[in-house]
Amino acid sequence: MGKGGGGDEKEKMGFEETELRLGIGLPGGVGGGEATDRQQVQVVKKRGFSETIDLKLKLSSKDSCGMDPNDDQKVKENTDPAKPPAKAQVVGWPPVRSFRKNMLATQKSSSSSEEGGNATFVKVSMDGAPYLRKVDLRMYKTYQELSDALAKMFSSFSTIGNCGAQAGMKDFMNERKLMDVLNGSDYVPTYEDKDGDWMLVGDVPWEMFIESCKRLRIMKGTEAIGLAPKAMEKCKNRS
Amino acid sequence: MESSELKRSKDSANSHESTRKSSFPDEVLDRVLSLLKSHRDRSSVSIVCKDWYNAERLSRTHVFIGNCYSVSPEIVARRFPKIRSVTLKGKPRFSDFNLVPQNWGADIHAWLVVFAAKYPFLEELRLKRMAISDKSLEFLALSFPNFKALSLLSCDGFSTNGLAAIATHCKNLTELDIQENGIDDKGGGWLSCFPECFTSLEVLNFANLTSEINFDALERLVSRCKSMRVLKLNRSISLEQLQRLLVSSPQLAELGTGSFSQGLTFQQHEELERSLSNCKNIHTLSGLWEAMGIYLPALYPACAHLTFLNLSYAALQSGELAKLLTHCPQLRCLWVLDTVEDKGLEAIGLNCPLLEELRVFPADPFDEDIIHGVTEAGFVAVSFGCPRLHYVLYFCRQMTNAAVATIVQNCPDFTHFRLCIMNPGQPDYLTNEPMDEAFGAVVKTCTKLQRLSVSGLLTNLTFENIGRYAKNLETLSVAFAGSSDWGMQCVLGGCPKLRKLEIRDCPFGNAALLSGLEKYESMRSLWMSACNVTMNGCRLLAREMPRLNVEVMKEDGSDDSQADKVYVYRSIAGPRRDAPPSVLTL
């Protein structure tokens, strides 16, 4: 999901069609050089339906020598520990049977709900922040309350400043301003729901949200662009 | 060849070897063949000569069909008139991981209709990755009065209503084995459908259903089925209920417990322990859903003779596992979750010298914030303590070439080596090299290797080695690996015994696909998804090889020329007629 660097390649891939539920790009062969790059970009084009992540990002410096300097920048961005890893879930990977996946998921959720009583703790990460936080969603009754709490939680990081975060999140609730917010550099709260999809916060009624939210990520507005069309779609389908 | 000629030539061949002139009377052949169970042996027998072909086909009672579309039910019925037991597999294996569209096919019904007409005495049906509806289950229950054994693994399309039909109508049922299916669980009432006079059940596995069943009905069922040897309960059964069931079935050989986490009084704990120790025949133990460490000691009496322990739904910690294993010296097969971590695996190495099979499943496969689980160290520790290890399935987040080299040095007898480094394309985390050396070591050292799943960052070198050294390899799974067509070409050009090749997200294209033209006829199937194969490549393949079915599934929004998912398999039944619109037959 890194947007910095490698700008040319991104344009070729049709960036406006990106969705966060992504396929994985092919790992470049070691020392594959030009041929591999071409192959990779070709495959990416032919994929069409999703943006592929350049898996070279995951490789060591040994493998990335021979790549252009913009890619090195991408590597740095994606090794930032506070950010969830660039690759989103790949369909059918790791190869664990859906049955087993579901069984373990229900086990986890049932045991955690037993332990926590009526608390619903989810992790919160913020782009640029060096560590994660945890919030109990059941402590809040509205999106506004959550938004205020998050702003306070992360306000200590100089990159944000109180107004930016709060304003961004408040504006976000208002759909008309959505695109403005996303085009700006404000922060946008997103969450991962039960299906594993990344959604914009605020779409669904609060009660439904706390039931389905597994974790929160406060993204830079520019990065959340890919989510907007999907969120709009889900909204449209619901109305 | 005329059969009389054959007989003469057989006789003359025999007389070279012995002084008497031996003929091979049919009765002798039939008797010998009746002892042959393995379908591979039978296949070999059937191609010796026409006589043997006929003798074999008339005496075969069990047929195994690895790909339901490779043959039609009519052809099967024509060749084998006396079948009593059928094993059928349907969808490509990657359907387990949601890579195959829902309505893809592999519906059992057409088969059942033919079987009802041609095999009215059918006794056993074992299905894997087939689609089966409630209507089909009911049809099955009503069409075969002698029906005894139903086993469904990874199937879908049915609900507990279908099970109710089976329970109601199959008066001679001995086996009902429902495993890991996409079943619509509408409630536990199906179990109460077994009639009160019904006593023949030997195998009952409903571990993977979630609804509560009527416990009284179950208790009565278990106590009157005196031959019951396999009982696998679901999570709705409590420890207390388990204890009561054990009292009425001390003869059990395989036990799947229910939930292992309720509060037990000291007395209840004692009673459970005692009931378990009365079950002297238990060799397989599973279930243990949400197992809490404090109750595990109740299992100790059952552990002394245990050969298979399935803890893959019990999130145990290393200490809990270690303690449990000190009681299980006879273990041959162990399945665990990676919550046991490397320390838990070390305990395996220390306590289970007879171990032959180990599977380590990921507790949190999709949560990347968690950096627990097992590493290469755990695997190495097991290999030092368990030299007989020959089957491994290992999910981990880091691995090194050196570790794998050590592992196969300690355990050279691997027949199944399935290593899943969960981050696609990840190199050796210490050296940052590709994992080529690791899998090179595996194929060079493990000459008996039949099944291999590779992962991590791999170049064509891995596939060169596989092609060159893996002489006994039958199944190969590849994901996010390889550098170019050459890799796949090496595999197709080597590996004389290759039967199943499944590939996803690799840079293999038409050149690779088309290099295996003749090979595919000796294989069961080829799967390629998210590779570089085009529609034209597939069309060429289909044109050149008319005895292969070439099927393409397109993704939404992909290029017209791309063949997103390709499934190629040999078939004597021709292209299938039940393909949904999402599947293009070329």
pLDDT at A34 over 80: no
Q: Which residue has the tokens 């569209």?
A: B101
**Lowest mean pLDDT segment, chosen from A57-71, B271-285, B317-331:** A57-71
Q: What is the pLDDT of residue B458?
A: 97
User: CB neighbours of A167 closer than 8 A, spacing ≥ 6?
Assistant: A186
Q: Which residue has the tokens 């309960």?
A: B233
CB A55 within 8 Å of CB B480: yes
Q: Mind telling me how many Å the CA of B314 is from chain A's nearest CA?
A: 9
* pLDDT tens digits, B334-384: 999 999 999 999 999 999 999 999 999 999 887 766 667 899 999 999 999
Which residues in chain B are closer than 8 Å to A58, comparing Cβ atoms? 423, 425-426
User: Nearest to residue B500, comparing CAs of B88, B65, B93, B41?
Assistant: B93
Tell me which chain A residue has its CA closest to the CA of residue B290. A107
Q: What is the pLDDT of residue B454?
A: 98
Q: What is the pLDDT of residue A101?
A: 81
Q: What is the pLDDT of residue B425?
A: 93
Residue in B425, B530, B558 closest to A27 by CB: B425
Tell me which chain A residue has its CA closest to the CA of residue B395. A94
Q: What is the pLDDT of residue B259?
A: 86
Q: Can you tell me the distance from the alpha carbon of B252 to that of B237, in angstroms, rounded to the nearest whole number? A: 17
* % of chain A surpassing 70 pLDDT: 36
Q: Which two tokens mark B447? A: 């000459």
Decide which of A237 and A30 is more confident: A237
**Lowest mean pLDDT segment, chosen from A24-38, A148-162, B458-472:** A24-38
Split at pLDDT 50, 70, 90, the class of A3 is very low
**Range with the largest mean pLDDT of A103-112, B19-28, B427-436:** B427-436
* % of chain B surpassing 90 pLDDT: 76
User: Nearest to residue B534, comparing CAs of B485, B474, B572, B489?
Assistant: B485
Q: What is the pLDDT of residue A234?
A: 52
A139 reaches B (C-beta below 8 A) = no
Decide which of A28 and A92 is more confident: A92
Q: What is the pLDDT of residue A36?
A: 39
Q: What is the pLDDT of residue B447?
A: 97
Decide which of A47 and B502 is more confident: B502
Q: Which two tokens mark B462? A: 């891995």
Split at pLDDT 50, 70, 90, the class of A87 is very low
Split at pLDDT 50, 70, 90, the class of B573 is very high
A84 reaches B (C-beta below 8 A) = yes
Decide which of A124 and A161 is more confident: A124
Q: What share of chain B is helix, strand, coil (3-state, %, to 5)?
A: 40, 20, 45
Q: What is the pLDDT of residue B390?
A: 98
Q: Is A95's CB within 8 Å of B482's CB?
A: no
pLDDT at B214 over 80: yes
Split at pLDDT 50, 70, 90, the class of A125 is confident
Q: What mean pLDDT comes out for the span B426-449?
A: 97
Task: Tell which of A30, A45, A102, A197 to mutate to test the B interface (max B CBs under 10 Å).
Answer: A30
Q: If you count them, how many residues does chain B have? A: 586
Residue in A92, A106, A196 closest to B97 by CB: A92
Which residues in chain A are closer than 8 Å to B362, comparing Cβ atoms? 94, 96
How many Cα atoms sit within 13 Å of B184 on the Cβ side? 10
* % of chain A surpassing 90 pLDDT: 2
pLDDT at B99 over 80: yes
pLDDT at B9 over 80: no
Q: Is A99's CB within 8 Å of B561's CB?
A: no
pLDDT at B220 over 50: yes
Under 8 Å CB pairs connecting chains A and B tally to: 142
pTM above 0.80, yes or no: no
Mean pLDDT of chain B: 92
Helices assigned H by DSSP within chain A: 7-12, 33-47, 61-64, 69-78, 98-116, 143-154, 162-173, 175-183, 206-212, 227-238
Q: Is B289's CB within 8 Å of A107's CB?
A: yes
Q: Is A58's CB within 8 Å of B395's CB?
A: no
Q: What mean pLDDT comes out for the span B77-89?
A: 96
**Range with the largest mean pLDDT of A63-67, A74-78, B451-455, B571-575:** B451-455
* pLDDT tens digits, B236-262: 998 889 999 999 999 999 999 988 876
CB A12 within 8 Å of CB B459: no
Q: What mean pLDDT comes out for the span B494-509?
A: 96
Q: What is the pLDDT of residue A109?
A: 61
- The answer for A90, left when phi > 0, alpha when psi is -120 to 50, beta otherwise, is beta
Q: Is B182's CB within 8 Å of A35's CB?
A: no
Q: What is the pLDDT of residue A122?
A: 86
pLDDT at B167 over 60: yes
Q: How far apart are the first and last CA of chain A?
A: 29
Q: Is B368's CB within 8 Å of A84's CB?
A: yes
Split at pLDDT 50, 70, 90, the class of A135 is confident
Q: What mean pLDDT comes out for the span A175-183?
A: 45
Crossing angle for the helix pair B401-410 and B436-445, nearest 10 degrees?
A: 10
Q: What mean pLDDT comes out for the span B26-52?
A: 86
Q: What is the pLDDT of residue A155?
A: 67
* % of chain B surpassing 70 pLDDT: 95
Tell me which chain B residue has its CA closest to the CA of residue A40. B507
User: Nearest to residue B185, comparing CAs of B164, B154, B215, B216?
Assistant: B164
pLDDT at A184 over 60: no
| Tally of CB atoms within 10 A around A109 | 12
CB B107 within 8 Å of CB B134: no
Q: What is the pLDDT of residue A237?
A: 54
Which residues in chain A are closer than 8 Å to B488, comparing Cβ atoms? none
Which residues in chain A are closer than 8 Å to B365, comparing Cβ atoms? 94, 96, 101
Q: Which amino acid is at A4?
A: G
Decide which of B380 and A195 is more confident: B380
